[in-house]
Structure 1
C-alpha cells in the first residue's frame, strides 16, 4: 500500500484477500451511479408508458365515443388506425430528430406532440378534431418507439443493458393495461387527460438526467461527453477511461465513412443488421398483435360474452406474463371454428379468452420486447438514425396494415407467422448478452 499517495497498485490489490476489495466508499459510489442510471431509464421509459397508453386507448372507449360523437363504424376505424399513420411519419423523422437535437431533445418533442394530441381528443366534438388528436399522439409515439430503447441502450452498463432495455416493453404493456382498465370506469374524455400525465412527468425528469454520452461524443461535445460518463459510470477519469477510449476509437473509425443515407443501408456491410431489424419487426407485427389489441372488446363480444369488460380486464392483467403466441392464436382460431360448426358453443367464450390471453402474454415477454432491444444494439451510431427510421417505419406500417385488415388476417394464418418467427430468430439473430454496443456492431457489420 502506498500510504503517502493513498493509492495501492493493481498488483498489490490482487494479493489482498477478497474481503478487502469490498471498499465501503467504492460500494456507496457504485450504488450512487446505479441510481443515476435507473433514474435516467425510468424517465426515458415514461415514453414507453405513453406509447402503451395511446395503443390501449381505443379498445375500451369504442362504444362510448361512437355513441357520444355519433360516429359510424368506418369513422371509428379511421380514428383507431390513424394512430399508426401518425406513427409512420414519426418513424420517418425519428432518427433525424434524435441525431439533430439529441436523445433527450427527441423525447421532449415526442412529449409535446402527445400532450397536444390528447388535448385535441379531449375537446373534440366530431370526427375531425378527434382524428387530428389521434394522429398527433401517433406522431409522438412514433418518435418514442425509436428514441427510448436507443437512449436506454446507450446509457446502460453492458451488464445491465439487457434488463434495463426490457423495461421499455414492460412499460408499454403496463401503459396499455392501465388504459384498458381505466377505460372500463372512466369517461373517454377523462381517460384522454390521463395520457398527459406521463408526458408531464417526463418533461420535468429530463431536466435532471444526462444526455446519451455516445450522442455527445458523436456531435463533438467532448466536455459534456465526459461529464455524462462520469454521472453514469464513474466520477473520475480512471473509472471511465476504458469506456471513453473505446467509444472515441469506434467513432474515429466511423468518421472516415461518409454520412449515411437511406440507400447506404443496403451496402453489404450493413445488410445483416437491416435483415435482423426489419425481419424482427415484420414478424412482430404480422403475428396480429395490434389487431388483437385494438379490437379486443369487439372480439370478446363476438365470442359470446355479454359484455367486453370482463375480457378487457383480464386482457389488461395478463399482458405482463405467460408464453406461446402460436398456441394462443391456435386456441382462439379453433374456438371460432367450433362456433361456426355448432360444436361446444358453450365453451367458445372461454377458449377465445384463454387463447387471446396466452397470445398477449407471450408477445409481451418475447416478440414484443426483443426487437426493440436488438434494434438499439445492432446498428453502428453513424447509421443508427436512418436505420432506426427505416425499421421504425416498417414496424408502424405493419401495425397499420394489421389493424386495418385484422379480420382478413384472422382468416389467413397468424399462427403460421408466429411459427416462422421462431425459425428466423434461431437462424439469423445473434446473442448480444455481455457485449458492449461497439463489440456487437463490429461483429455483425464486419
Structure 2
C-alpha cells in the first residue's frame, strides 16, 4: 500500500480531503473492525467501472446533441416558422460552440482537474437545453445550441483523457471505447424518443445526463496522473489505490507516473514553439490526423441527414431506417469495445477505414445508377444504397468512431496534453462543422458524388493508419509517450 501522511487528526481510518484534490477516499491501516468493514465496502463500490460509468454520462449528452436535430427538424421548423437555411444554422451552431469549448478544454482540465472540467462543462449544457425548450424564435434556439455545443466541446476532450489516465493498461482500450459507445447511445436515444416526444420535451430530457453527472462526480477519484503533475503526490497515490483496489500493490505504477511527470512542474504550460520537436509534433500529427479524418469520412453527414438520404434513395420507412442505424451503431460499438485490447488499435482502424471506403463506393454506385437505370430497378438500387449506408455505419463503429479519441488520449505526453489535446479536439470539431455544413449542399449537387468523395477520404485514412499510426495495445501511457523521444 502507498504511504500516507498524518493529517493531524490523530486517528487512523478513512478521510475526505478537499474537493479540489479529487481524492475522496483515503485508507489507513487500522485494527478496528468498523474501519475494516468500511474499507471492504469502498473496495466493492468504488471501482474503475463505476468511474467510467459516471463520466460516460458526458458522451451520452454529446450523442444526444448530435442526434437531436434529426427527428425534430420538421416540428421545429413548423412551430418557429424557420426556413431550411435557418434550421441548418441551428444544427451547425453546435459545432461552433464545441470549437470554442475545445479551445478552452485543455486549459480548464489542466488547471482545475478532469472532474472539475466536467462539472464546468455540465453547467452551460444544462442551461442550453433549457433555453432550447422555451425558445420562441431562432435567436433563443441558436443561443441554446451554442451553449450545449460549448459544454460538449469540453466533454469531448476531457472524458477520453480521464478514462485513459485512470484505466489499467490491460483494460484501457475497452474502457476507452466506452466513450464512443456512450455517444452512440445518446444518438439512438434522441432518434428513438424523437419519434414520440415533442421537441421541447426532448430538449428537457437532454438536461438529464449532465444533471446526474454532476453529483456522480463527487463519488469518483480524480485522475492520479493529473494529481501527480500538480504535485499532489499523496493524493495521486490515494486515487490510484482506490482505482486499483486496496489490496493491490501500486508501487510500480506510482513510480512510473512520478518518473513521467518529473520534468513537469505545477502550473507549467509548454510553449507552442516547443511543439516542433519530434517527440511532440509526431504524436500531435497522429492525434489531429485521426480526429480530422474521422469527421471527413462523412459520418456526421450521414447521421445528421440520414432521413433525407434514405428518402432520396427511395426508402419509404426512412424514419424507421434512421432509428435502425442508431441502434446498429450501439450494437457494433459495444462489440468493438471487447476487441480493442485483443486485436489492437491499428488492425481495427484499418478494417474500419477499408469497410467505409467500400461501403461509400457501394452507396455512390447505387445513387449514380438510379439516374440511368429504368424505374423497374429502383427498388433494387434502394436496397443497395441501404446496404452501403449500413456497411458505412458498421465500418465507422468498428474502429474510426472510438479509436481516434482513445489514441489521442494515449499518445500525447503529459506536459503537452492540455495544449495539444485542445488543438486536436478543435480540429475534430472544425472538420465536423465543415462536413455538417457541406453535406446538404453536396447531397443536393450529387448524392453519388458525395459518397465518392467520402470513399476517397476513407481510402486515404487506411493509408494514413498503415504508414504512421503506432500500435498502443498492452503498453502503459508512460511507455507509449517515451517511445516518441
CA drift at 1:87: 0.5
Partner of residue 383 from structure 1, selected from 395, 416, 420: 416
Which of 275, 296, 301 does residue 265 from structure 1 map onto? 275
Q: 1:207 aligns with which of 218, 228, 231?
A: 218
Q: Tell me, yes or no, if the aligned pair for 1:81 and 1:404 is still in contact at 8 Å.
A: yes
1:317 corresponds, among 316, 327, 352, to: 327
RMSD (Å), alpha carbons? 2.2
Instruction: Judge conservation of contact 2:43–2:242 (CA < 8 Å) in 1.
Output: no
The answer to whether structure 1 residue 430 and structure 2 residue 470 are counterparts is yes
2:284 maps to which residue? 274
| Aligned equivalent of 1:13 | none
TM alignment of 1:397-436, pairs within 5 A: 397-406=430-439, 407-408=441-442, 411=449, 413-436=453-476
- Determine if the alignment matches structure 1 residue 241 to structure 2 residue 228: no
- Is the counterpart of residue 393 in structure 1 residue 423 in structure 2? no
Structure 1: gaps spanning 5 or more residues: 1-24
Question: Which residue of 368, 378, 385 corresponds with 1:337?
Answer: 368
**Partner of 1:298: helix, strand, or coil?**
helix
CA contact (8 A) 2:43 2:246 kept: no
Query: 1:33–1:404: structure 2 CA closer, same or farther, 3 Å change rule?
Result: same
Matches within 5 A, 1:32-47: 32=43, 36-47=47-58
Moved over 6 A (4+): 28-31
Give the superposition deviation at 1:253.
2.9
Q: Which residue is equivalent to 1:185?
A: 196
* Worse-superposed segment, 300-309 or 280-289: 300-309
Question: Does the 8 Å CA contact 1:62/1:76 hold for their aligned counterparts?
Answer: yes
Equivalent in the alignment of 1:22: none
1:251 corresponds to: 261
Contact kept in structure 2, 1:287 and 1:418, CA below 8 Å: yes
Contact 2:231 2:265 in 1 (8 A): no
Confirm or deny: 8 A CA contact 2:230 2:267 kept in the other structure: no
Per-residue CA deviations over 1:212-270 (Å, capped at 9, x if unaligned) read 0111111112232121111112437x712111111111111344997313343232321
Decide whether aligned partners of structure 1 residues 68 and 290 sit closer, same or farther in structure 2, where only a CA change above 3 A counts: same
Alignment of 1:5-20 (within 5 A): none
Aligned position for 1:372: 405
Say whether 1:128 aligns with 2:155.
no
Q: Select between 403-412 and 352-361 the one with higher mean Cα deviation.
A: 403-412
What does the per-residue CA deviation read over 1:294-313, in whole Å, with 9 as the maximum and x for residues that have no partner?
A: 11111112222335312212
CA distance in 1, matches of 2:226, 2:321: 44
Distance 1:79 1:234 in 2: 46
Superposition deviation, residue 148 in structure 1 = 0.2
Quickly say closer, same or farther: Cα 1:138–1:98, change in 2 above 3 A: same
Using the size of structure 1 for normalisation, the TM-score is 0.89
> What are the ranges of 5 or more consecutive residues in structure 2 without an aligned counterpart?
1-35, 333-351
Q: Which residue of 1 aligns with 2:387?
A: 354
Aligned residue-pair number = 418
| Kept after mapping to 1: 8 A contact 2:230/2:266 | no
- CA deviation map 1:116-171 (0-9, x unaligned): 11001100011111111111111111111100000001111111111100111111
Q: How big is the shift at 1:419?
A: 1.1
Assess, with a 3 A threshold, how the Cα gap between structure 1 residues 226 and 380 changes in structure 2: closer, same or farther. same
Query: Whole-Å Cα distance in 2 between the matches of residues 274 and 49 of structure 1?
Result: 26
**C-alpha displacement of 1:321:** 4.7
TM normalised by structure 2 equals 0.82
Aligned partner of 1:17 in structure 2 is none
Does residue 97 of structure 1 match 2:108? yes
